[in-house]
Amino acid sequence: MGMSDASFDAVVTMFEKVSGIRLAPVKKPLVEGRLQRLAVEAGQPSLDRYVEQLMRGESPDELTKVIDKLTTNETYFFREPQHFEYLARWLKEHPPRGPFRVWSAASSSGEEAYSIAMLLADQLGQRPWEVVGTDLSTSVVETARRALYPMERARHTPQAYLKRFCLRGQGEYSGQLLIQRALRERVSFRCANLMQPLPSDLGQFDVIFLRNVLIYFDAPAKARIVSRVIGHLHDHGHLFTGHAESLGNLDLRLRAIQPAIYTHG
């Protein structure tokens, strides 16, 4: 089931308006693949008819489904391990004097947020700390809250952490793992669009992970996103970005400590 160039352009324009991300023409097969099932479920015989229905704006829920499909990306635990190694060293050298808060600002299905939580539980124990995860997609936020994952996504997780913080699935859950309740209770998830004003009750953080999302934006959009995000970062707090992302050309109050790690203020 394919779509016309006009339908693809309409989806691209709509998606950019909502997310700030402009899909390149080479993404057309991906868009077609991800929207096919939605078109069938909506009772539409073709993707073009489905897009026509979508553009009429008669079903906001359908638009949410499309945004969810187009923003879903698979990730895994302890991706880019240098960041976790740095944070562990920093916490040993600078034990927090009060509550320690970390924000996973593009948390997808939650693997990053729970990786951070494992590290904090190991380093800080029962001292006050919490992790907040946000994402544009409602479906991945719900996945994160369930905390149930294929074992394959834990392939880079230290064995000691797997034994301590994860439950191995059995029976119908064979091949999956569940994050233990004690850890889940320290982590919360909510929807937030980094291209729009952030929730006023989000609060301030000691560390923000903003990884592997800026690559989708041009320099002006990057600057707006980072400026908005670091408004929630304590002075001298840390910002982590993806190793393929650079903030060097942005005029922001950030100082590079090492590749993809910055301090604020």
| Catalytic residue (choose from 22, 34, 127, 228) | 34
Is 97 considered catalytic here? no
| Structure confidence at residue 190 as a pLDDT band (50, 70, 90) | very high
Note the pTM of the prediction, 2 decimals.
0.86
Q: From the candidates 48, 68, 135, 206, which is the catalytic residue?
A: 135
What's the rounded Cα separation, in Å, for the pair 69 and 55?
16
The predicted-structure confidence for 105-115, as pLDDT tens digits, reads as follows 999 999 999 99
Task: Say yes or no to pLDDT of 64 above 90.
Answer: no
- CA dihedral 174→175→176→180, nearest 10 degrees, is 80
Chain segment 239-258, per-residue pLDDT in tens: 999 988 888 778 788 999 99
pLDDT digits 0-9 by tens, 162-176 = 999 999 999 999 999
Domain 5-71 fold: Chemotaxis Receptor Methyltransferase Cher; domain 1 (1.10.155)
CATH code: domain 81-264 is 3.40.50.150
Top-confidence residue, 31 or 71: 31
Alpha-carbon gap, residue 110 to 125, rounded angstroms: 21
CA separation for the pair 119, 254 (Å, rounded): 25
Give pLDDT, residue 72: 66
Query: CB neighbours (10 Å) of residue 142?
Result: 14
The mean of the pLDDT values for the chain is 92
34 among known catalytic residues: yes
Query: For the CA atoms of 85, 211, 240, 250, what is the dihedral angle to 10 degrees?
Result: 150
Domain boundaries, the chain: 5-71, 81-264
Single-letter residue type at 243: H
Specify the pLDDT at position 62. Answer: 86
Percent of the chain with pLDDT over 70: 98
pLDDT over 70 (residue 260): yes
- pLDDT of 71 above 90: no
Residues 206-224: tens digit of each pLDDT: 999 999 888 888 888 889 9
pLDDT in tens, 5-60: 999 999 999 888 877 788 889 889 989 998 998 999 999 999 999 999 988 877 77
